[in-house]
Amino acid sequence: RRLKVRVNIELLSISNPVHKKDLAVRLTDDADPFFLYNLVISEEDFQSLKSQQGLLVDFSAFPQKFIDLLQQCIQEQNKDIPRFLLQLVSSAPALDHTPVSLNVVETNPFKHLTHLSLKFLPGTDAEIKKFLANCLKCLKEDKMILEEKLKKTEEDLNRQLSYTQQSLSEKSRELDKLKNEWTSYTTALSSKHSQELTSEKERALQAQTQYQQQHEQQKKELENLHQRSIQQLQNRLSELELINKDLTERRYKGDSTVRELKTKLSGLEDECQRAKQEVLSLRRENTTLDAECHEKEKLINQLQTRVAVLEQEIKDKDQLVTRTKEVLDATQEQKVILEESTEEKQRHIEKLETTIKSLSAELLKANEIIKKLQGDLKTLMSKLKLKNTVTIQQEKLLAEKEEKLQKEQRESQEMGQSLRMKEQEVCKLQEQLESTIQKLEESKQLLKTNENVITWLNRQLSEAQMAKKLDSPASAHAGGRAAVSPLGMPDRPSFHSSGISHPISPLYAFQNFLEPTHSKNGNSQCPISKVQLNSQLPKLSRCSDAHTVPAAGHAANKENGDQLGLESKYFKKKDDSIPLRGLSQNTLNSEYLRPYLPAKAQPSPKAAGTPASAYFPG
């Protein structure tokens, strides 16, 4: 069943012995005074209720949220299918002093969701008595207030009645007096009006005769004026027809010029599209050129040919730009001519408008005789309006053409900028080509110098082998050092670790050349300085800083005139020298280098122990 229930919510603050706040909720029915259910929630009780029902609200905000839910239920109560409901559920079949649960339910087509459920206890006899006593007290207070209001309203109404009765008696007397005065006044007025009417009729007859005479005179004067104005209007109409013929001829001429300009504009647009296509093709070619710049020597010739083709295309585009500029100048001249013609037309139109305004002012003063001429003038006005609309349309077309011309000028400027950018890119490509060519020449020079070094070392190796064959007994007496190096390495080793085998490298040939050949001074033992050849040969010092001493073992060669050692240009330090990699450091360590160095490359005793990079630059 459904009931209308009154819900009272109060916050009770208790200060003795501890300051607390409790929420008191009361359910009552106005029809049933014994229907009373109470609920008191403290802060501790609210924490347990919050944990049980999963509430997200604090105790301070809970009363307002509960009131919001009740208001939603009140809004939905008159609907057939309400969304929010208040359910009062009891375990007993009737509400007979049993605890009750109040549920706030939201209905969905899928499920009924209970947002809040509160358990209420029925009121005891004492509570019901207190509630009824409060109700009686409130009713008595309301009754006393209503009785006082009734007394006040009765007194006011009695006063108003007495006042209205007195006013009615006074006004009835005034009406009688007014009626008597009105009858005497009407009789006097009727007599006066009859006399005035007779006198006025006589005056009207006299005025009528005078007005007729004046009207006849004015009529004659107006007829003469109308005839003169008709003649003047006819003369002006003939002049206007001549002016209209001139305007039509000028309009036809303007249409012809506009068509010519349209054809020229279409041609210019086609040329611009072609130029755009060429620009796109040039951009693609530029991308290919950028990729090809990083290739090897074989692509240099192709780049040069493409640069020549690009220069020819740029020249062609310059010619196209000059042509487009000439066409634009011609169109601008035609535009100036058209503007002058439009200004003249506007002046003629202003003159015509002034004349038409004067004619309309004069025609309004005319009478019924000129109505036919007014119809003719209206037709002329409509024709003039049509002409004005035509001229306005022509002005709009001219404005559109000016916008198109400006767009074409902008496009031509953009084309010029793109051409300048391409010229700059071509210059950069040429500079890159020149730099690559210079690098190639430098690399070729380095290769030539390396080949000269290799030939000189091979020649020295062959001479050393010949000397070894001749001086084999002396080398055997010296302890068999001609066949074996101080590190115990064979005469022609194969470098497995470094990947070098039989063709002999220049450094290995030079090492074999430095074997002992003491044929003349066999018993003399000179101090041997250990020379180390570094594998990274770019870090070389200049040969001019190294001190050289004459070698005793090569006196015979000097007598024959064979100058051992390289020229001074091969001992200069170069930043672009190529390091010799792949030779292990053990193969380059030799204790017998110093006595057998050439005269120009032999180190001094003070410089013993310095790396071989100081004497053998790259």
Does CATH number 2.170.210.20 belong to domain 5-123?
A: yes
Q: What is the pLDDT of residue 64?
A: 92
Out of 75-89, 119-133, 357-371, 596-610, least confident range:
596-610
Work out the number of other CB atoms within 10 angstroms of the CB of residue 458. 14
Q: What is the pLDDT of residue 94?
A: 66
Q: What is the pLDDT of residue 535?
A: 36
127 closest CA partner among 42, 37, 40:
37
Q: Does residue 588 surpass a pLDDT of 70? A: no
Is-contact 28 16, C-beta < 8 A?
A: no
Q: Does residue 185 surpass a pLDDT of 80? A: yes
- Contacts by 466-473, CB closer than 8 A, 24 or more apart: 467/517, 468/515, 468/517, 471/517, 471/519
Q: Does residue 320 surpass a pLDDT of 90? A: no
Q: What is the pLDDT of residue 96?
A: 66
Q: What is the mean pLDDT of the chain?
A: 76
Q: Does residue 597 surpass a pLDDT of 50? A: no
Q: Does residue 457 surpass a pLDDT of 60? A: yes
593 closest CA partner among 539, 529, 545:
529
Enumerate the domain spans of the chain: 5-123
Q: Does residue 364 surpass a pLDDT of 50? A: yes
Question: What's the mean pLDDT in 324-335?
Answer: 86
Q: Does residue 569 surpass a pLDDT of 60? A: no
Out of 7-21, 86-100, 304-318, 546-560, least confident range:
546-560
Question: What's the mean pLDDT in 506-511?
Answer: 41
Q: Does residue 260 surpass a pLDDT of 70? A: yes
Q: What is the pLDDT of residue 592?
A: 39
Q: What is the distance between the terminal CA atoms of the chain, rounded to a whole angstrom?
A: 113
What is this structure's pTM? 0.29
